[in-house]
Amino acid sequence: MARNLIRTGEAPETIKISGIAVSLAREQGLERDEEVRSRFFENLDARMDQTGPGDDLVGLLEQLNRKGFIMGIVTFVRKPRLTRRLDKWRLGDYFRSAITPEQVAEFKPSPQPYLKAIADFHLAPKECVVVGDEPVDMLGGKRAGTRTIGLPQGFYSREELVEAGADSIITSLNALPSILLN
């Protein structure tokens, strides 16, 4: 199937998703990079629209909200796509801040997006926790002065998240309340 997988220099087992998308799209006859990117995100959004956020995620957000946690998002997803997703899934009210690449001069692993979210919360970094599934989340959170919790369910392993500075590792978002409430 995809013959030209791109591997990053960080870890030999880490595959760059954009390389997979480009390879698969080219096999379908899409050659121009912007067309490939656009079609990839259209398909991804359509799938996400069909699946929804899942009851576990909504329940977790509701539980954390009831306990008084202030939540935000720092994401590589551009603002229009993020807003559409949060609106479609009716999750926007759970997040006081949503920081996307077009809002800050530097992005992950820079501390800038995290510090912007923290400023939106009117909190000190030491009062905040970054939860993420990528090393850039751990690095950015640490550089911003927060505690970091790694969730190795994406493309990165537990070891990669720990190496990047995760203070704790969870294997499911369901474990988050027990860590945050202690």
pTM of the model: 0.76
Can you point out the beta strands (E) in the chain?
71-74, 95-99, 129-132, 147-150, 168-169
Rounded to whole angstroms, the Cα distance separating 126 from 12 reads: 34
CATH topology of domain 53-180: Rossmann fold (3.40.50)
| In the chain, where the domains are located | 1-51, 53-180
Render each residue's pLDDT in the chain as its tens digit; 182 residues: 333 333 334 443 444 555 666 666 667 665 666 777 777 778 777 887 788 888 889 999 999 999 999 999 999 989 998 999 999 999 999 999 999 999 999 999 999 999 999 999 999 999 999 999 999 999 999 999 999 999 998 789 999 999 999 999 999 999 999 998 87
Helix residue ranges, H only, 8-32: 17-27
Rounded to whole angstroms, the Cα distance separating 72 from 69 reads: 10
